[in-house]
Amino acid sequence: MRWEELDREPCSLARSLSIVGDRWTLLVLRECFLRVRRFEEFEQRLGIARHVLADRLKKLTDAGVLTKVPYQERPRREEYRLTEKGLDLYPVMLSLLDWGDKWMAGEEGPPVLRRHKACGKIARAVQVCSECGEPMGARDMTVEPGKGVTEEVLPPAAKAEGK
Amino acid sequence: MRWEELDREPCSLARSLSIVGDRWTLLVLRECFLRVRRFEEFEQRLGIARHVLADRLKKLTDAGVLTKVPYQERPRREEYRLTEKGLDLYPVMLSLLDWGDKWMAGEEGPPVLRRHKACGKIARAVQVCSECGEPMGARDMTVEPGKGVTEEVLPPAAKAEGK
DNA sequence: AACATGGGTTCCGAAACGGAACCTGTCAAG
DNA sequence: CTTGACAGGTTCCGTTTCGGAACCCATGTT
């Protein structure tokens, strides 16, 4: 599996990682969700090398995750904003945040708290089934090949389990 | 922000990424969730360079995400299994899978389908609030600093919003 | 003795990264 | 009308990391 061809792998995880699966991209997107939008502000807050930042912003824009919107002409300046596709990455951020809160926080607990506007409480996310509303854990699921994918892409152990 | 110090950043996302935020780690973990456990099988299914695989497995084991369990003595052979900490990464996998299914699938739809054992249907995950059960979207949340974190870590736009 | 097996380690050239310097429009000040 | 500032990059160079192949090692089989 080569990195440049990840986006054509028959696996949605691999395809997602072709966009967000590197050192910096998800940190850039964290800033986007915190409403950071300008090159300099990304750079200062992240301490990322400028050319790496430029490259990530370009890739995210090309991928349709961010979009450049002008905020002044003469000289033309543009800022980066999340598209719908980008906003849809929120569950990814949230699940990583929750995992970090649970497993990587020290004595002091989570460094940043998230409050749910609807109920006003500090909350974490629970994943439930889109069809029945019951919780979805790692071992509550079976996998099966979709269209255009052969059985072999799934390892024997995973296939056996579906039977 | 230096890569080697990511695990001490006051941000659960950064801390999570210090473990899973590179090219290969989440793909290795995908295989783990598909019940792949042995060095050779990881290598063959992923096409990863052997020393990179050895390094990732060691780091995941050191981090407590995987554990080595012997499956034979003489010669001693060990396989890698997900710990509870590792199984807890399922929401991360699932949210990346769902995003890829939605945004990166072509004409043919998602390459692999996930069926929820509880209801028997092909399903995706929905994130709901652990406190009130209502959906949690990107703009349904506000952030506030936790213990030991000063206001400055949050950008002005994010702070203004909480008011 | 020769070969196979599982799980690595070593070595080398290519790619990605970190840090600093430099470039490009535009405007404001001296 | 030169100088400087600002935002947003690009270029260059030395260090890490990666991809690919070769090699190592304990054991068991032919």
Please, what is the Cα angle at A52 between B155 and A27, to 5 degrees? 40
Residues of B in contact with A96 (CB under 8 A): 12-13, 16-17, 20, 92
Q: How confident is the model at residue B63 (pLDDT cuts 50, 70, 90)?
A: very high
Closest nucleotide to B55, Cα to C1'? C8
What residue spans of chain A are helical by DSSP H? 12-20, 25-33, 39-46, 50-62, 84-87, 90-103, 156-162
Residue-wise pLDDT for A90-116, tens only, equals: 999 999 999 999 999 988 899 999 999
Alpha carbon of A109: minimum distance to chain B alpha carbons (Å) = 7
Task: State the virtual CA torsion across A23, A28, A34, A38 in degrees, nearest 10.
Answer: 160
Closest-CA residue of chain B to A106: B8
Residue-wise pLDDT for B27-44, tens only, equals: 999 999 999 999 999 999
* DSSP symbols for B105-140: --TT--SEEEEETTT-SB--EEEEETTT--B--GGG
Closest-CA residue of chain A to B140: A117
Mutate to test the interface with A, among B12, B19, B65, B88 (most CBs of A within 10 A): B12
pLDDT of amino acid A163: 45
What is the amino acid identity at position A29? Answer: L
Q: Checking DSSP bridges between strand A141-145 and strand B141-145, what pairing results, if any? A: unpaired
- The verdict on a CB contact (< 8 Å) between B12 and A105 is yes
